[in-house]
Structure 1
Amino acid sequence: MTERDEVDDRADEATTTDETTATDGGHGAAGELEDHHGLPGTNTLTRWFVTTNHKDVGILYTVTALFFLVFGGVLAMLMRAQLWIPGDQILSAAAYNQAVSAHGLLMVFWFLSPFAFGFANYVVPLQLGAKDLAFPRLNALSYWLYLFSGGLFFVSFFQGGTFTGGWTMYAPLNLPMYTPEPGATTTVLAMIMFVASVTVSSVNFLTTMHRMRAEGMRMRDMPLFSASILLTVWMMLFAFAALLAAMMILTSDRLLGTTYFAATSAGGSLLWAHLFWFFGHPEVYIVFFPALGAMAEIFQTFTGRRIVGRKWFIASMLLVALQSFVVWMHHMFLTAINLQIKTLFMATTIGISLPFDLMVFALIYTTIKGRIRFKTPFLFAFGGLLVFIIGGITGVFLGAVVLDYEFRGTYWVVAHFHYVMVGGVTALVGALYYWYPKMSGRMYDEFLGKVHFAVYFIGFNLLYFPMFMAWETPRRVFEYPMALIGYHQSATIGAFLLGGSFIIMFWNLTKSLWAGDPAPDNPWEYATTAEWVVSSPPPLENFPGRPSYASGSLSFVDELRPGGDSGTPSVADGGVADGGVADATMPVAHDAGEHAEEDHGADHASVWPFVIGLGGFFALLGLSGFQEGSFVGGMAGAMYVGLLAVGTVVLGYGLVGLTREPFEGLTGPFGSSWPFENIENTKLGMWIFLGSDVVLFGAFIGSYVFIRVAEGWRNWHHLIPEAHVPLPGLINTYLLLTSSFTVVLALVAAEKNKRWGVVGGLGATFLLGVGFLINKAQEWLHLFHVSTEAFPHGWTLSTNVASSTFYLTTGLHGAHVAVGLLITLYMLVRAVKGAYLDDERPVEYFGLYWHFVDIVWLFLFPLFYIL
């Protein structure tokens, strides 16, 4: 027996011995016992409603995303069945529009990114050497917001029909005059809830990845999958903030009757395109980057080689992430934007393909230099690379202004888009097979995996490649020339093959979960990132001690692995240590160090994230019955009002419960935290959130400037009544500036251990903020009831674009002030009881938010009251 066989036998023996333990994440037989701090076992349903552990949340994300894959896939097959021959054969025109729109929205938002972030939730903390994400309850909250947002979207089908204006929701088709059904409004509200989930998740991941890497793991040492997630999340933080602004403005147009996107003279349709595509094109890379990172990990593992040109690979990803925000106008070549700007964006579009060329060549050269093992994960990863190359090449055509005039709105775009996006899905399916043994503790059936790949790859290309040939077919239309019927029928056959391939996958993974061979710690010979050092599945706390890379490879400080086995050596990046072949018999060092981990266990259970998600679901569902200033009539209206009331109460109850819950999170030290060594997790999380808020307000202010320039900068004053004077805004400026000063006084008092100083400072801040809102309310009421020749019915939200931009932008700011006052009131009650004297940091973090709100007003005051 070889040394390698002995190691494998020991791993199998250890796995068999602890089989019941493994099924419960390392805690409790058969999942029936409680884990640390009251977390139920995995075999109990309760666990999945209260868990905050990153591995559980990762599984929830993955399973839920696969459900939405099936949901969107069924809609896709309905569309392809309709296109077997031209005409309305199965679906009516309205139903077909619903299917097209819902398929696009489900796949882009509720499947692609969440599927990738199922792996990110599970794997990234393990790869970084962290015991969990920085804010476990926020991680659970992000999942429940995601799930309930999908539930809202599902409900929209039963409200007279879901949104029918395409997944890009172009104006003016997104307005009530074209999509009047409540289901369309529910779709928009579901998008807002989804973006809230993304924002919470982004703050959590960025804080974790910048603050909680293991000792000795520099930013450039992160495994490629984690590096891809880091760049993805930074893009998400800013891109989704722009989408949130677009959705909030659209919601206001639909619910309150504002006129942003209905203002044709002020370029309302063009404004939507700018807002949507500023998000939309980074979203392509947000979707593909995790697939690219997983692809790189799989290539390293199954070729036995570190990625060729690793530092250039990472630099290329960074360059693409930055460039992704300066190419959005290539989606707008058919608009009235002048040719010089179109030419500039054509250059940036072609330029962004160059870093991708480098990454593709790095992956190809890695396979040439390595020794390929054709396992299922590699087949899918390599297949994903092949189809992405086709998608990238065909995309270059669309990057040229002249060719885009010919191809825009045709099936060439459909084919290109799917070769890129579903190319990413192909690699992510490989990632599912790759990490399935680690997540489940079982090995899948390799033969079925390869059958799945064969059927999938044939079905994929049979579905999408004929679309290039049938490019003259118009998008989102079921009529096409009879000469193209052969191509469409081939595509329909391919669609059913592609869909059927997932039945093989589901059968394989489900059967393997119950009857598969137990998975060793590391089932892949050359996988060396940290997740493969711990058991399959990993224990609740991930590691037996504090992980460290200070010696150049992974070691655990102070504690030994269960059973005394030291495990497999691991380098941060994957591939092999020191350029050689990883030897599974080499011991991992366990040295005592002066930075011994301070964490002695953290809480893992909280029901409040679920409660908050449930409350948000009911509140937004109730709000969907509010149309252009009033609720729909009759019993339906009463039902919507009731849902809104119940949802608001449950949401408030959940938020209060979350703040009052004694929850022990992770404490430091965490290891490498450059460049944020001296910034505590919560403070960094607040700074990151405010960065997203900067983009949100920037989008609102940018929309105001865009509309005003389109309307005519000087003509704008004719849209404003003389009663709109600067004095109320000036008074509010003084109120907010003074309130910033009183927050500082409260912080100083907390530092000096003066209870009543803290109470006085927070109380003064609260009163000044209330004064701001009262003054704002009086000003609005006065303007609402202005009666002049030019404005006989007052100056309301729907009077003109000037009133819409004024009320909505200052209203968003007022909502921030109101949230700040609720926080202030909560802190004031606690301060009276003596809180914040031993730890003034909550006052400091609240001050960051309050100062930001005040700074925003310093921009709004001159824009809306002086200029």
Structure 2
Amino acid sequence: MSDLPPSTSVRRWLVTTNHKDVGILYLVTSLFFLLFGGVLALLLRLQLLEPGAQVLTGMAYNETVTAHGLIMVFWFLSPFAFGFANYLVPLQIGADDLAFPRLNALSYWMYLLSGVLLGISFFQGETLATGWTIYAPLNVPAYTPSVGGTGAVLALAMFVVAVTASTINFLTTIHHSRAEGMGLMDMPMFTWSILATVWMMLFAFAAFLAALLILGSDRVLGSLYFQAVEGGSLLWGHLFWFFGHPEVYIVFFPALGIMLELFQSFSGNRLVGRKWVIIAIVLIAIQSFLVWMHHMFLTTINLQTKTLMMATTIGISLPFDLLVFAMIYTLIKGRIRFETPFLFAFGALLLFILGGITGVFLGAIVLDYEFRGTYWVVAHFHYVMFGGATALIGGAYYWFPKMTGKLYDEFLGKVHFAIFFVSFNMLYFSMFMAWETPRRVFRYSQDYVAIHQVGTVGGFLLGFSFLLMFYNFAKSYVSGEDAGDNPWAYTRTAEWAVSSPPPLENWDGRPTYASGRLEFVDRHGHGSDDGAHAAADGGHAAEGNEASDYVLGDKHPSHASIWPFALSLATFFALLGLSGVRSAVSVDAAETLLGTGVSVANPIYPTLLVLGAVGMLYSGIEWGREDFYAPPAEVASRWPFDHVEKNKLGMWFFLASDVIVFGAFISAAVFIRANAGWRSWHPLPDSFPGLINTFVLLTSSFTVILALVAARRQSRKGLLGGLGATMLLGFTFLGIKGWEWHHEIYDVGITLTQNPHGPPIQATIYYVTTGLHGIHVILGLLVAGFLFVRTWRGHYMTDQRPVEYFGLYWHFVDIVWVFLFPLFYLF
């Protein structure tokens, strides 16, 4: 499937892989989750009108607090920003699309269906009621035993998979597909902010995925990580906040990029200190991983470590000072036009300054002891996260004409800003005034009743302001004035050089900055196009495929595939089934899963799990078989990856993320062992099976190399032999591991929760970590089997790259085992 149906067709939006369509889907869906999270917030504000249970019960209040935080942070703020990124980054860097269009569509559908899975968790008994930080041990079944709690954890894991797919896609696109002559320092500031964001996401979300996998193991299999007395609660804090603090900047950076773009456009002045702004962004991105422990000042971490984290926390504010002064000086040196997009961008700057200043208080250990757990933190958090995201609303007004070809109502836009800004401060500044109110608690001192009531009025006014925005956009889209290609006076980025809305293929010619300014040449690099615009994507039903005449060689770029949607839907059903598989636990059960005594009470859950798993396998195979063509950029600026093909680059980024996942698992093992007492753990009684498996996997890496050599020599038999040997060795590894597990469980007595040779947590860590590695081996064998069948049918003789990329993955899996073997069998 490659033809794209018209935009008036529902089928268009199910199969599209075009970056602009996916961007629109992200924007619309994230606004839905804004309404969802906003309604939950208004329920909380109604509860706080008076101290005590007014609207919700205690448990319902906790669920609402948790869901509101999760939805706003994960399902609204970042996806709203990445709706703009999907639409605009390829246009700003001169690319035809993102590097992997189907992966882009997959990231969207995984995001949408993960949100649906979170919504369903409300109807599975109870959803999570832990606060959005999901602190241990509240996150384990002993405290939140419902199926809905597990469903919410799995929804988060599915969301992180969506984020990882999007991250790999943007990193590859920006590093591989920039227009000729566009160096990294030449990129627009919005694209720069996205680049810094996705680099942070690559590592931060990998750590969060590891935490969620461990938590999912505790909830589904009954492992003991976060209910262990050997530092389980502190382990969650480290894993979560290693992700959680970069997440603050992951949310804020796209908004910062929009502020920088809008300040230039509406002041008519180039950004002051542009080079230093970029350096500051890079420094913040790096430092964001060095300050996570300031969220843990109230734990038992020693004072010396806390002091070091206090210093790094204060230090990260310095690059932000540079950013703020750069924006202020840009405005001072320009002639400002106070139109709606600028008002929201300027308002975001004011709100973020207040949020940043109040955050410095929390970076000091002594003050943090006083403020932690109060509404001071809630207010600061909203001024930073939602205050910074105010610029995203400005971005919606700024790019609305580009995306729709229509002008919004300027008067309604300014009314929206006025109500928004006033109500925002009514709501969140009232929290500073009532800061001694305990966080996540609806009983508070009578002294603060009037202040909380002002905050509730502000909350409802804030919600009303968004209704004005929705009305403005809907009315303007239907009957607004035509915008033309560029309604703004001082734009500096390439998206304004094409029609509004842009054509499906973005460009008639190839964009180039080789001369120092934007020009267009034909696809073969000859002559000048003078920047002629392609026809807009109008969606005429009679035409069927709205593509322009852009052809590379003799193949048209593909824009449609049903398999991202199908794979995401299958994953959704598999995780929904997995959420309820462990519905009852009995340690006396005759049949056990790794000794935990899991019995299944509701047959619908395992049925969904099996059907979903089968659907995932089928969709994955069809994805691989589909004739989908996403051409690489023929001529592009690719530093620092000048000679790396885009698929290999994408594989590198994926493996970098997986390194963090396994690194988090190994670090968790070392952390808990150190807390349990290093010498209280003993190696497994029999290390011989692990030693044999080490030789088996190392040999399989050699056979993968032989397969690649055979493919390059166009030896079909040699390739089949190499792949077949690799598969045989992989199955041998799994067979030995299966025998070993059976022996340890039934003969030695080492189960997931019991260990006669040491602490039970040692057995938990062994089974879960090696189990994760085993899943990687199984996935590798599935890919190897696919390559084997395709080779049998005559593929890969002229293009051996899929074999090479599989080899990179398989070598990584082997290297991981080299670390796991001494960790569990020798030390």
TM-score, normalized by length of structure 1?
0.90
Structure 1, 339-348 or 420-429: larger mean CA deviation: 420-429
Aligned mates of 1:787, 1:729 — CA distance in 2: 16
Change (3 A) 1:633 1:673: closer
Cα deviation per residue 1:631-656 (whole Å; 9 max; x = unaligned)? 7754xx11112211221222222111
Amino acid at match of 2:346: F
| Residue 702 (structure 2) pairs with residue 738 (structure 1) | no
Cα deviation per residue 1:307-332 (whole Å; 9 max; x = unaligned)? 10000000000000000000000000
Change (3 A) 1:485 1:142: same
Contact 1:294 1:428 in 2 (8 A): yes
Aligned mates of 2:84, 2:634 — CA distance in 1: 25
Contact 2:2 2:561 in 1 (8 A): no
Contact 1:615 1:647 in 2 (8 A): yes
Structure 2 residue aligned with 1:750, among 678, 700, 711? 711
Change (3 A) 1:352 1:724: same
Cα displacement (A) at 1:796: 10
Cα displacement (A) at 1:528: 2.2
Contact 1:786 1:794 in 2 (8 A): no
Aligned mates of 1:855, 1:86 — CA distance in 2: 57
| Residue 350 (structure 2) pairs with residue 395 (structure 1) | no
| Residue 120 (structure 2) pairs with residue 155 (structure 1) | yes
Counterparts of 1:518-597 in structure 2, within 5 Å, are: 518-558=482-522, 566=531
Q: Which residue of 2 aligns with 1:833?
A: 793
SS of 2:520's equivalent in the other structure is: strand
Contact 1:256 1:797 in 2 (8 A): no
Q: Which residue of 1 aligns with 2:567?
A: 612
Aligned mates of 2:638, 2:758 — CA distance in 1: 50
Cα displacement (A) at 1:89: 0.6
Aligned mates of 1:499, 1:669 — CA distance in 2: 48
Q: Which residue of 2 aligns with 1:602?
A: 557
Contact 2:215 2:226 in 1 (8 A): yes
Counterparts of 1:302-381 in structure 2, within 5 Å, are: 302-381=266-345
Contact 1:797 1:807 in 2 (8 A): no
Show structure 1 runs of 5+ residues with no match: 1-35, 569-595
Structure 2 residue aligned with 1:382, among 346, 359, 377? 346
| Residue 225 (structure 2) pairs with residue 260 (structure 1) | yes
Q: Which residue of 1 aligns with 2:812?
A: 852
Q: Which residue of 2 aligns with 1:444?
A: 408
Counterparts of 1:577-726 in structure 2, within 5 Å, are: 601-627=556-582, 634=601, 637-717=602-682, 724-726=685-687
Structure 1, 827-836 or 53-62: larger mean CA deviation: 827-836
Structure 1, 653-662 or 547-556: larger mean CA deviation: 653-662
Cα deviation per residue 1:540-589 (whole Å; 9 max; x = unaligned)? 000111100001110110289xxx98469xxxxxxxxxxxxxxxxxxxxx
Cα displacement (A) at 1:668: 3.2
Q: Which residue of 1 aligns with 2:536?
A: none
Contact 1:466 1:490 in 2 (8 A): yes
Q: Which residue of 2 aligns with 1:19?
A: none
Aligned mates of 1:737, 1:176 — CA distance in 2: 39
Contact 1:130 1:670 in 2 (8 A): no
| Residue 64 (structure 2) pairs with residue 99 (structure 1) | yes
Counterparts of 1:361-510 in structure 2, within 5 Å, are: 361-510=325-474
Aligned mates of 1:861, 1:276 — CA distance in 2: 27
Change (3 A) 1:103 1:792: closer
Q: How many residues align?
A: 795
Structure 1 residue aligned with 2:199, among 227, 230, 234? 234
Amino acid at match of 1:475: R
Structure 1 residue aligned with 2:771, among 806, 811, 821? 811
Aligned mates of 1:322, 1:743 — CA distance in 2: 36
Amino acid at match of 1:728: P
Cα displacement (A) at 1:792: 13
Change (3 A) 1:600 1:535: farther
SS of 2:681's equivalent in the other structure is: helix
Change (3 A) 1:630 1:208: farther
Contact 2:400 2:408 in 1 (8 A): yes
Aligned mates of 1:103, 1:668 — CA distance in 2: 42
Contact 2:508 2:532 in 1 (8 A): no
Q: Which residue of 2 aligns with 1:247?
A: 212
Cα displacement (A) at 1:81: 0.6
SS of 1:64's equivalent in the other structure is: helix
Change (3 A) 1:405 1:324: same
Contact 2:752 2:767 in 1 (8 A): no
Cα deviation per residue 1:292-347 (whole Å; 9 max; x = unaligned)? 00110010000001110000000000000000000000000000000000000000
Contact 1:68 1:110 in 2 (8 A): yes
Q: Which residue of 2 aligns with 1:823?
A: 783
Amino acid at match of 1:755: R
Change (3 A) 1:798 1:477: farther
Cα displacement (A) at 1:834: 2.3
Aligned mates of 2:48, 2:340 — CA distance in 1: 33
Cα displacement (A) at 1:842: 1.1
Aligned mates of 2:69, 2:90 — CA distance in 1: 31
Cα deviation per residue 1:825-854 (whole Å; 9 max; x = unaligned)? 111111122221111111111110001111
Amino acid at match of 2:506: N
Cα displacement (A) at 1:88: 0.1
SS of 2:639's equivalent in the other structure is: coil
Over aligned residue pairs, what C-alpha RMSD do you find?
1.9
Change (3 A) 1:484 1:268: same
Aligned mates of 1:651, 1:821 — CA distance in 2: 15
Contact 1:139 1:200 in 2 (8 A): yes
Structure 2 residue aligned with 1:800, among 760, 772, 775? 760
Aligned mates of 2:325, 2:130 — CA distance in 1: 39
SS of 2:558's equivalent in the other structure is: coil
Aligned mates of 1:223, 1:693 — CA distance in 2: 30
TM-score, normalized by length of structure 2?
0.94
Cα displacement (A) at 1:797: 14
Change (3 A) 1:250 1:793: closer
Contact 2:681 2:759 in 1 (8 A): no
Aligned mates of 1:307, 1:622 — CA distance in 2: 52
Structure 2 residue aligned with 1:783, among 744, 747, 766? 744
Q: Which residue of 1 aligns with 2:822?
A: 862
Amino acid at match of 1:854: D
Aligned mates of 2:200, 2:633 — CA distance in 1: 27
Aligned mates of 1:299, 1:644 — CA distance in 2: 50
Change (3 A) 1:512 1:742: same
Aligned mates of 2:504, 2:89 — CA distance in 1: 15
Contact 1:784 1:794 in 2 (8 A): no
Change (3 A) 1:263 1:797: farther
Cα displacement (A) at 1:158: 0.6
Contact 1:541 1:601 in 2 (8 A): no
Contact 2:94 2:512 in 1 (8 A): yes
Cα deviation per residue 1:419-476 (whole Å; 9 max; x = unaligned)? 0001122000000101111111111100000000000000000000011110100000
Q: Which residue of 2 aligns with 1:217?
A: 182
Contact 1:597 1:669 in 2 (8 A): no
